[in-house]
Structure 1
Amino acid sequence: MSAWKTVVHDRPGAEITEHADLYIYWADSEFPLWNSIFVRPEVKDAATLRDSLAIANAYMSTKTGSGSVYVCGDMFSGIGASELDDLSVSTGMVRHSVLTGMIGSVPQTLSTPRLMEIHCRRVADECDLALYGHIHAQAYSMTDAVGRSAFAGSRLWTDGAFVFIGYHGDAAVSTAAVLVNKNTLYLTLVATLPQVWGKGFATATVRHALKEASHSTGIKEVVLHSTRTGCALYRRLGFRRTTHIHLYTRPRELALGTPGVKRCS
């Protein structure tokens, strides 16, 4: 959560508010990842969770951008995923995705056949940021305008983080970013153009970003949150699951088919 606070704080006009039971990190951006509400780890019982989701729903109803409420399923002893879903529905929210929290170390063996076919460049200016946004827009079914605006003018992604674009020949095909968060590396914003999925370009770019971040900081421990499709990649790199994170949103966002917000399957 602290890493995502840094990410959202980078965006102009972002609201960073920490309540008794909720962390609200909301930029009201068209890029849904920048609009996030986290249920705090101190919330342990169903009644408090129900109240927290209701507050989050009311807050989101006043905003233009779509976003998600993040709930760590392992916080609630004896409450399974189906019970969490029923509880969320009672507050007017629905689950649209599940992320897997993972932890591991920077891979000791950083060579991969795809590194012979791809070269990585660090994001350094507005042109790079626009290209980074373009790849994310294509990967997550958003418009180019949304993807590009998500990173425009950022100092975090050009100066404060280890952010790389992978190129196959002259074509930009993949991305990966690493933030230093206390004594860990936080891997995020990994994406690949759909037309080259399954070719190992994301793996190569992730390896490169982690290598550069670890070399510069001396930090070896890595944390990340993966989509279901990305888990296999990270397991191959030696990461292991720590928790499941359930993402909830308002039904209106799903009904409108908001880019980046999809029903869980």
Structure 2
Amino acid sequence: MRAPPAPEVVRDDTADSTDSTGSTGPTGPTGRTGRQAVRAVPALLPGVALTAVPNEAAGIMRSKSHAGFLWVFEDLLDDGARAALGTAAEQAGLRYAFPGTGMAGDLLPVPEPVHPELTFVRVDDDDLLRAYADLKARAYGFPLEDGRDGLAGSSLWKSGVFAYLGLRDGTPVTCAATVEAEGRLFVVLVATDPACERRGYGEAVTRKALYEGARAAGLTRATLHATAAGAPVYPRIGFRPNSPLRFYALGD
């Protein structure tokens, strides 16, 4: 049997919207180069080819001002590759950062959401985009300048992305966005102010982004990559898990 080709590792400025393929960096479709994604495109990776992926991904990450993460979808690996992944990543200078879950569902359209404490505003100017970036940074625990670097000035985020803020008494407390990609609506950068969690804000603003994105694009399928913290929310909307994820960061 011929061995399948080694997987391609590419830079990717648009979040991968397929149900269980590829990998992306932490900010999704930014329209900028500061946090370009690193994407592996495997087809049931054989163990012998796996070492090429972490090595090439690490090289791309080291070339950027913000390294981001390598995202690996475990269901795209065969048993040998899955077992060898940790060692291959370590040898490439990568460290395991945190887990995640790929999810998808034929759930659109969703009803227009209402939350008694929130008003929804679409991000369509620089001030709102900065507020989105700052909220994301606070929720994810990294410096405000890093959040702004990933989004500030992006024309894509002010027009092509259905990005929404949830305001409570005029103050942004939650955010979510969707973007059309490859015939699906991809959910990206859902965040809630840590002081305002467990009030249903994240689910509500995600529903709003899905509602508006589906209404504009006419799509029926949606996908997302969930962190462990967000994973319990999305099945309530209609998403179903389809692959565990491993996130890898540079170890140096």
TM-score above 0.5, yes or no: yes
The whole-number CA distance in structure 2 between the counterparts of 1:97 and 1:170 is 33
The question of whether the paired residues in 1 share the 8 Å contact of 2:47 and 2:81 is answered with no
Instruction: Report what 2:199 is aligned to.
Output: 199
Whether the aligned pair in 1 keeps the contact of 2:46 and 2:77 (CA below 8 Å) is: yes
TM-score normalised by length of structure 1: 0.79
TM-aligned CA deviation for residue 217 of structure 1: 2.1
Q: Per the alignment, in what secondary structure is the counterpart of residue 12 of structure 2?
A: strand
Partner amino acid, structure 2, of 1:128: L
After TM superposition, where is structure 1 displaced by more than 4 Å over at least 4 residues in a row? 107-112
CA distance in 2, matches of 1:43, 1:22: 14
Note closer, same or farther for the CA distance 1:218–1:130 as it changes in structure 2 (3 Å cut). same
1:106 to 2:108 alignment: yes
Counting aligned pairs with the same residue, the percent is 27
Larger deviation: 53-62 or 126-135? 53-62
**Contact 2:129 2:152 survives alignment (8 Å):** yes
CA RMSD of aligned residues (A): 2.3
Aligned partners of 1:43 and 1:49 also within 8 Å: no
Matches of 2:13 and 2:206, distance apart in 1 = 27
Paired residues for 1:47-86 under 5 Å: 47-79=48-80, 83-86=84-87
Instruction: Please state whether the residue corresponding to 1:142 is helix, strand or coil.
Output: coil
- Mapped to 2, the partners of 1:26 and 1:164 lie a distance apart of 20
Q: What letter corresponds to residue 172 of structure 2 in structure 1?
A: A
Letter in 1 for 2:128: D
Rounded Cα–Cα distance in structure 2 between residues aligned with 1:205 and 1:38: 27
What's 1:96 paired with? 97
Measured after TM superposition, the shift of residue 60 of structure 1 is: 2.8
- Please list every run of 5 or more consecutive structure 1 residues that lacks an aligned counterpart in the other structure: 1-18, 253-265
Residues 36, 70 of structure 1: 8 Å contact kept: no
- Aligned residues of 1:107 and 1:237 also touching (Cα < 8 A): no
Q: Which residue of 2 aligns with 1:16?
A: none
Residue 164 of structure 1: aligned partner: 164
User: Could you tell me whether the CA contact under 8 Å between 2:110 and 2:210 is conserved in 1?
Assistant: no
* Residues 248-259 of structure 1: pairs in structure 2 closer than 5 A: 248-252=248-252
Deviation for aligned residue 1:243: 1.0
Counting only pairs closer than 5 Å after superposition, residues 32-51 of structure 1 correspond to structure 2 as 33=27, 34-42=35-43, 44-51=45-52
Question: In 2, are the aligned partners of 1:94 and 1:248 still within 8 Å (CA)?
Answer: yes
Residue aligned with 1:229, SS: coil
Q: Cα 1:171–1:239, aligned 2, differ >3 Å: closer, same or farther?
A: same
- Matched pairs, number: 229
CA pair 54-152 structure 1, distance change in 2 beyond 3 A: same
Aligned to 2:210: 210
Partner-residue secondary structure (3-state), 1:158: helix
Partner amino acid for 1:159? S
Q: Please say which of residues 148-157 and 167-176 is displaced more in the overlay.
A: 148-157
Distance 2:59 2:238 in 1: 40
Structure 1 residues 108 and 177 mapped into 2: Cα distance closer, same or farther (>3 Å)?
closer
CA 1:26/1:211 → structure 2, altered by over 3 Å: closer, same or farther?
Answer: closer
Mark the runs of 5 or more structure 2 residues left unpaired by the alignment. Answer: 1-5, 15-24, 28-34
SS of the equivalent of 1:116 reads coil
CA shift for structure 1 position 79: 3.6
Give the 3-state SS of the residue equivalent to 2:141 in structure 1.
Answer: coil
Q: Compute the displacement of 1:111 (Å).
A: 4.6
